[in-house]
Structure 1
Amino acid sequence: FGVTHTALNRLQQRKCEIVDTTCGSVLTVWKRVEYYAQNGFTTIIHGKYPHEETIAVCSQISKYPAAKYLVIKNATEGMSIADFIGGNISKKEILRQFTGRYTTGFNPENDLQKIGFANQTTMLGGESRQIAEIVREAFAARYGEEQTERHFRSFDTVCSATQDRQDAVRDLLAAGDLDMMMIIGGFNSSNTAQLMQIASESVSSFHIQDPGDLISKQEIRHQTFPAMKVRITDNWLPDGAVKIGITAGASTPTRKIGQVLYRLFELKNIPAHQIKRIVNAT
């Protein structure tokens, strides 16, 4: 996810050996927000403010003393920005609604006249594009279509691996014949939570971390959405044949996915030799 530039500077000052493994998709976001900062655009970031990636992105903007940012979490908050641009809500309301998620000294009246849009790479791609369009349309309504580019810039920075998984889940759900979805990944994983959000809108879904969460045919340990609470649910696995769609977060090891598959077959009392034949055929 990257690190804040202040933390990196401290490590460099201490002569630490640094191996930079920042994701290339994250570096693309950094380059984009630096462009905004250098050209007088306030960056609006679609992301989760406590997330390490968003904190690091904000830090890249803060390298430029005059630059500003604002973090929004969903399309509803995007509508608030559009309402302010259109003169429908006050500066005071914007500052109240986004307390703690903007640069020190942020002034909506000055700093929301030119906006550059970016997103945390693991957010829902469709929602990010929706927010960008909401804000763009607000500027077009206020200044006219021909002046919109002077006030608004956007660049889709959703990670391709994240987008591919979101698209694959939608394809699975579109078939309409699943009994449930199993989403595998860390409970603190943003991109896994987005997969859970997509799946849970259409079918009974369970977000688990590993095969150990499949306690028995009667009990499953999982994280709920949108409450994000870990709980144990009873009687989760129906008797008889059941069709389960399986997906996993971008950083979930393939080995772990295989282990979950084996555990599901075990719970359905499928013999080991049949499990191997089924897995080898997929």
Structure 2
Amino acid sequence: MKVKLAEYYGFCFGVKRAIKIAESSKNASTIGPLIHNNEEIHRLKKDYNVVTLQSLEGLGETQKAIIRTHGIPKQDLKFLESKQIDIVDATCPFVTKPQQICEQMSAEGYDIVIFGDKQHPEVKGVESYAQYGAHVVLSIDELKTLRLTHKIAVVSQTTRKIEEFMKITNYLIAHYKEVRVFNTICNATLDNQVAAKELAKDVDIMIVIGGKNSSNTKQLHYISKEFCDDSYLIESEKELNPQWFKNKKICGVTAGASTPGWIIDKIVGKIEKI
């Protein structure tokens, strides 16, 4: 069986940047998981004593706080700033952008629509920058239930599918007089999604590597499944099942933006042994 890697996969700019920040911030605490990859979170704790706090209540005697790649709500940032601790901002610049857009557009009187998962930490952070609140939707059906003015600004969670975002924006443009569209989907996310789609068309089995709580990794799995029925999402080599590969000739491999190279190498190595 041949193993074929996607043209684009794995660590994006924002995650690489965040990992470097964490590695140079020993004995620090991250506000929420730095990235959505449990294996890498464990490595940072083991090698650099970078611990993960699930809430601000756990700050205790923390002297250095790292803001996760997904960002945090504006009010949480203000709370941190009121404390005498060192704040290290590892928010991905691609996440900072929709935060700024929501803040500016809401100040200018626009209704804010965010295409994304309202439970995702990135979306919670972005939403908090809208001066008068925001409408978070995942479908046109949800849009139809909203009472909006005729001045709308729309942004997307950085890891969503561009095709789904376009459905949302096309509906708004067709039904409202003034719609400001800001394509805030990360370029790396788009590249990974297109590469996964093309690879999935040409293989018998697809392995998607990444955190199961990672939005962009779940999107890669969803896309792969559309074009290759035998697509599996795994976090480590321990989850590989030899039976998956029976009678398969080509195995495609891709990985989410929060998946480090050492995990990918481990998994590809085990697949090749199988």
Q: TM-score, normalised by structure 2?
A: 0.71
Deviation sequence 1:193-216 (CA, Å, 0-9, x none): 0011111011120000011111x4
2:266 is the counterpart of 1:259: yes
How far 1:237 moved relative to its partner? 2.1
Aligned to 2:81: 12
CA distance in 2, matches of 1:190, 1:36: 26
How far 1:129 moved relative to its partner? 2.0
2:250 is the counterpart of 1:243: yes
Change (3 A) 1:80 1:8: closer
Structure 2 residue identity aligned to 1:206: Y
Structure 2 residue identity aligned to 1:250: A
Contact persistence 1:182–1:245 (CA under 8 A): yes
Selected match of 1:137 from 174, 198, 202: 174
Contact persistence 2:197–2:227 (CA under 8 A): no
How far 1:137 moved relative to its partner? 1.5
CA distance in 1, matches of 2:256, 2:208: 8
CA distance in 2, matches of 1:161, 1:79: 29
Selected match of 1:154 from 181, 189, 208: 181
Aligned to 2:196: 169
CA distance in 1, matches of 2:142, 2:217: 27
How far 1:256 moved relative to its partner? 1.0
Show structure 1 runs of 4+ deviating over 4 A: none
Structure 2 residue identity aligned to 1:242: K
CA distance in 1, matches of 2:88, 2:251: 40
CA distance in 1, matches of 2:257, 2:122: 15
2:161 is the counterpart of 1:124: yes
CA distance in 2, matches of 1:18, 1:80: 37
2:137 is the counterpart of 1:72: yes
How far 1:33 moved relative to its partner? 1.1
- Helix, strand or coil at the partner of 2:87: coil
Contact persistence 1:129–1:156 (CA under 8 A): no
How far 1:79 moved relative to its partner? 4.7
Selected match of 1:213 from 239, 246, 257: 239
Contact persistence 1:4–1:60 (CA under 8 A): yes
Larger strand fraction of residues: 2
How far 1:27 moved relative to its partner? 0.8
Higher relative contact order (CA 8 A, sep 6+): 2
Aligned to 1:45: 114
How far 1:113 moved relative to its partner? 2.6
Task: List runs of 5+ in structure 2 lacking aligned partners.
Answer: 1-69
How far 1:49 moved relative to its partner? 0.7
How far 1:80 moved relative to its partner? 4.8
Equivalenced residue count is 204
How far 1:153 moved relative to its partner? 0.7
CA distance in 2, matches of 1:23, 1:126: 23
Q: Please say which structure displays the higher CA radius of gyration.
A: 1
Aligned-residue CA RMSD (Å) = 1.5
Contact persistence 1:37–1:43 (CA under 8 A): yes
- Helix, strand or coil at the partner of 1:118: strand
Structure 2 residue identity aligned to 1:9: K
Contact persistence 1:2–1:56 (CA under 8 A): yes
CA distance in 1, matches of 2:104, 2:170: 20
Structure 2 residue identity aligned to 1:255: W
Q: TM-score, normalised by structure 1?
A: 0.69
CA distance in 2, matches of 1:112, 1:198: 34
CA distance in 1, matches of 2:261, 2:149: 44
How far 1:177 moved relative to its partner? 2.9
Task: List runs of 5+ in structure 1 lacking aligned partners.
Answer: 85-93, 96-107, 140-147, 219-235, 268-282
